[in-house]
Structures are given as structure tokens and as C-alpha cells.
Amino acid sequence: MAHVVTFLSGLMFAVGLGISQMTQPQKITNFLNITGDWDPSLLLVMVGATGVYFVTHQLILRKPAPLMGQRFQLPTRREIDRPLVLGAALFGIGWGMVGFCPGPALASIVTSNESVLIFVLAMGVGMYAFEVLDVRFSMEPDGGAGILPHQPEGKA
């Protein structure tokens, strides 16, 4: 049942991305182009999404446990460090260059557009490469999110 709920949640998210036109790179690049043909309509989408998330998040955390799990799994780290800032900057640069964010790109796969497929393939290769390097060079198997228990090196 949890897989069905996960699928339906993802489907609802994808439909929302499509309705808000966040799956169209031109819409994104026009929003990011504040010195040219700026399109502020995406700001309304983000404000609306943030508001819905904030209210829903507060209501959900009042429950003793999630509907489909034993306990909530929330990140515990709160500091802003160099990897976070660099990662956010790289994400933003990539988003601005091509107009795709990972969620809208995945929702756009159904179009079979060549640029979407290339982007998603490159995103997958980049995610895989990061995981390989992170596991190799990091002492934190969850990337520091605080979800997985820390295991000292050499212990499983």
C-alpha cells in the first residue's frame, strides 16, 4: 500500500508541475532573467507551494507517526557549511542554464523530448558519481542528513 501512496503522491506532484508550467524550461529561464523578459508568474507558484507545505508540515508533525511508517525520519543537521553552499550554487547554476529542476525533468520524460532525456540521463550519471565519491570519501553514509546511524569506518 505504501508504494501506491508514493506513486499517487508523485503523480499528483507531476500533474501540479505540468499545470504550473514548471516543466517548460522557457518558463523557468524567463523567471530567472530579471534583467530581460522577466516572467514573475512562477513566483506565485513558489509562494503557493511554500504556503501549502508549511501548513501541511505543521499538521503532519502533530501526529505521533507517519501514516505509512514507524517513525518520522527528519534531518538533524542544521548548520550551513561549505558543501551545502557549493551544492546549492551548482544546483542553481544548472537550473538556470537549462531551465530544468530534477522534479519537472522527471515529469517531462513522458514527452520523449531529446533534451529532457539527455538532461535526465546526465542527472542520473551525476547522482551516481556523487554517491560513489561520497561513500568513498565521507564518514557519513547518508550525506550528513542525520537519518542513518553513523557507523565507524570498517563496521557494518
**Which pLDDT value is given to residue 150?**
43
**Are residues 130 and 149 in contact, defined by beta-carbon separation less than 8 angstroms?**
no
- pTM attached to this predicted model: 0.63
Amino acid at 64: P
Shortest CA distance to 109 belongs to which of 29, 18, 3?
A: 18
Q: Per residue in 42-93, pLDDT tens?
A: 889 889 999 999 999 999 889 988 888 888 888 888 889 998 899 899 888 8
Which position has the higher pLDDT, 136 or 34? 34
Q: Per residue in 95-143, pLDDT tens?
A: 888 888 888 888 888 888 898 899 999 999 988 998 888 777 776 666 5
- Cell, residue 110: 513522458
**Which pLDDT value is given to residue 140?**
64
**Which pLDDT value is given to residue 156?**
47
Would residue 21 be called left, alpha or beta, if left means φ above 0 and alpha means ψ between -120 and 50 degrees? Answer: left
Phi/psi at 14 (nearest 5 deg)?
Answer: -65, -40
